Chain A
Amino acid sequence: MSDPAIRVRGIEKSFKDVHVLRGVDFDVERGSIFALLGSNGAGKTTLVRILSTLLKADAGAATVQGHDVGSAPGEVRESISLTGQFAAVDEVLSGRENLVLVAKLRHVKHPAAVAEELLARFSLTEAGDRRAATYSGGMRRRLDIAMSLIGEPKIIFLDEPTTGLDPQARIDVWRTVKQLAEGGTTVLLTTQYLDEAEQLADRIAILHRGTIIQNGTLAELKQLLPPAEIEYVEKQPSLEDVFLALVGDTGEADAAENADAAADASTGKEAR
């Protein structure tokens, strides 16, 4: 379908005197990963809250899955799922109960079976009956994302999904996001980490002081700068490479990749 999953036109929003969004425009293609890149306070969260019907825009229009966020919020909510900046899990309930709760609210058949399957998919089966308050940051984030997948929403908003996570948990989240997009889900994620946008996104928009100052694929954005000159420098392993190589267990799928990284790191020289 040529119709974009998300269409944002001239969205503005102020809080008292602070003009947070000053006319934001962009489209997100169906089934793609779109990264909204920006520093803290750029207005990313405000925009996500408007798109997920938690806030009303002062001006402009936005449609999500063809539904206007202002005039048809109910339909919008049917097609989206929001994973906010802070893991929105119920700490008093167990992981399993959290999943069952959302499954019941989304009126899916067999909530218990859905919960069971998601626990397994996010490696939480063992911790499934423990209270979410006892979970680590990474586990909580996984549970949070698992809760967002219930009912198979067409569009998922991830607001800074890896802020505060350790490198391994971060890679786990990245893998999940990639799998979602492969399954046809549209993902809009906000991030302040450049490498995250680079790793995941089909398109990247840079939100700065309330407007989109650039929007394109990674290749397009790179072309904005003069072509890179080739020079040879000694490649130092980054601390992340070292950490991951030492700790090793970033999950089966990534193990080989990391071994490669470690090998690269130890051979020393590489072109940049």
Chain B
Amino acid sequence: MTTHAIADTGVLTGRSLRHILRSPDTIITTAVTPIALMLLFVYVLGGAINTGSDESYINYLLPGILLITIASGVAYTSYRLFLDLQGGIFDRFQSMPIARSSVLWAHVLTSVVANLVSVAIVVGVALIMGFRTGASVGAWLGVAGILVLFILALTWLAVVAGLSAKSVDGASAFSYPLIFLPFISSAFVPTDSMPAPVAWFAENQPVTSIVNTIRALFAGQPVGGEIWIALAWLVGILAVAYGFAIAIYRKKLS
């Protein structure tokens, strides 16, 4: 049974990727809001924001925008998972001789692919708007790695939401706070411009360390200790979300 796990996951991933190809609006919708935010902040609000560096504002802004893109993109995973559960096809898969984890992993891998496409679109628009980076190949890989970890962590949260939701709206509502989190971080403005308690929260929540790390990688600067804090957050969230998701999944089957 387990020998087929990888092949089964591949087949099921192909299935949900086909869903996305048939409704590419899920990728477009995911990219539209972050692009609109980017336009708003760069061309309307950005002139009034002092980031305290001579980098162009779009260079400052992009890392946070990428995280917002992913935070809104993962909601589709819980949405699709919920529909599978509702429609009965989930039961069909579970009653077949396939590795049970394949069903969840297929949704997770699909999420990684779909979100990377959305991220690529946003980066493309950012380039048109004047985003420039001197990042080395290694730094780019670092950024990609952090983004993939971020997608995985948030997608497993999405799996938890999708498995435990009672309605379609409930399935995707979990992502609103995630989309909001970057606003109270160093993504748009430096944290030292905030009132002390807010600044404290902003500096100690995961988004800030992740944004600062990606920003440093793009700027070709040393990432310092920040990358370890970012990785600790990412791996921690991933582990907890994965654990919860598997526990809920097991409980569903007993």
Query: Is A104 part of the binding interface, using a Cβ–Cβ cutoff of 8 Å?
Result: yes
- Given contacts A87-B88, A93-B15, A55 and B253 within 8 Å (CB-CB): yes
Task: Let me know if A88 and B89 touch, CB within 8 A.
Answer: yes
Contact B18 A84 (CB under 8 A): no
The interface size of chain A toward B, counting residues with CB under 8 Å, comes to 30
Smallest distance from the beta carbon of B103 to chain A beta carbons, Å? 10
Q: Is B91 an interface residue (CB 8 A)?
A: yes
Bound state CA distance, A78 and B4, in angstroms?
13
Most chain B CB neighbours (cut-off 10 Å) among A77, A93, A101, A105: A105
Q: Could you mark each residue 65-99 of chain A with 1 if its beta carbon is under 8 Å from any beta carbon of chain B, else 0?
A: 00000000010011011101111111111000100
Name the A residues within 8 Å of B22 (CB-CB): 92
Is A139 positioned at the interface, with any CB of B under 8 Å from its CB? no
- CB contacts under 8 Å to A, within B75-106, are 87-89, 91-98
Bound-complex Cα distance A97 to B1 (A): 23
**A175 close to B (CB within 8 Å):** no
A56 CB–B CB distance under 8 Å: yes
B8, B92, B97, most chain A CB atoms within 10 A? B92
Given contacts A86-B87, A93-B15, contact A54 B95 (CB under 8 A): yes
Interface positions, chain B 1-15, Cβ under 8 Å from A, are 1, 4, 7-8, 11-12, 15
The residue from B7, B15, B98 contacting A90, defined by CB atoms under 8 A apart: B15
Q: Indicate whether A106 reaches chain B with its CB closer than 8 angstroms.
A: yes
Expressed in whole angstroms, the Cα–Cα distance for A85 and B4 within the complex equals 28
Choose from A82, A92, A106 the contact partner of B18 (Cβ within 8 Å): A92
Interface residues on B, range: 20 to 34
Contacts of B94 in A (CB 8 A): 53-54
Which residues in B have their C-beta under 8 angstroms from that of A106?
96-97
Find chain B residues with CB under 8 A from A88 CB.
87-89, 91-92
Closest to B254 in A: A56
- The reply on A177 being an interface residue by CB < 8 A is no
Expressed in whole angstroms, the Cα–Cα distance for A89 and B91 within the complex equals 11
- Asked whether A47 is an interface residue with its Cβ less than 8 Å from the other chain, the reply is no
Residues of chain B within 8 A of A63, CB atoms compared = none
Main secondary structure, interface of B, reads helix
Which residues of A from 17 to 67 have beta carbons under 8 Å from B?
49, 52-56
Complexed CA–CA distance, A13 and B254 (Å): 11
Contact pick for A53, options B7, B8, B95, CB 8 Å: B95
**A84 CA to B12 CA, complexed, in Å:** 20
Given A54-B253, A101-B15, A78-B97 contact (CB < 8 Å)? yes
Asked whether B53 is an interface residue with its Cβ less than 8 Å from the other chain, the reply is no
Interfacial chain B residues near A85, Cβ < 8 Å: 88
State A106–B95 Cα separation when bound (angstroms).
Answer: 11
A269 at the interface (CB under 8 A from B): no
Rounded to whole angstroms, the CA-CA distance of A55 and B92 in the bound complex is: 13
Q: CA–CA, A183 to B8, complex, Å?
A: 29
Give the contacting residue for B11; candidates A54, A55, A104; CB below 8 A: A104
Complex Cα spacing A89 to B254, Å: 24
> How far is the CB of B20 from the nearest CB of chain A, in Å?
10
Give chain A residues whose Cβ lies under 8 Å from the Cβ of B23: 92
- Closest A residue to B4 by beta carbon equals A107
How far does the Cβ of A96 sit from chain B's closest Cβ, in whole Å?
A: 12
A216, chain B: closest CB distance, angstroms: 29
Does B19 have its Cβ within 8 Å of any Cβ on chain A?
yes
Closest chain A residue to B20, Cβ basis: A92
From B11, B19, B95, A80 is in contact (CB under 8 Å) with B95
B15: chain A residues at CB < 8 Å are 90, 93, 101
Contact A105 B98 (CB under 8 A): yes
- Tell whether A52 pairs with B95 under 8 Å between CB atoms, given A90-B15, A104-B11: yes
Q: Which residues of B contact A (CB under 8 A)?
A: 1, 4, 7-8, 11-12, 15, 18-19, 22-23, 87-89, 91-98, 253-254
Supply 19 A–B pairs (Cβ within 8 Å), ascending by A.
A52-B91, A53-B94, A56-B253, A77-B96, A82-B91, A84-B88, A84-B92, A87-B88, A90-B15, A91-B87, A92-B18, A92-B19, A93-B18, A101-B11, A102-B92, A105-B11, A105-B98, A107-B7, A147-B92
- Nearest 9 A-B pairs (CB), nearest first? A88-B88, A82-B95, A88-B92, A77-B97, A86-B88, A52-B95, A104-B11, A84-B88, A78-B97
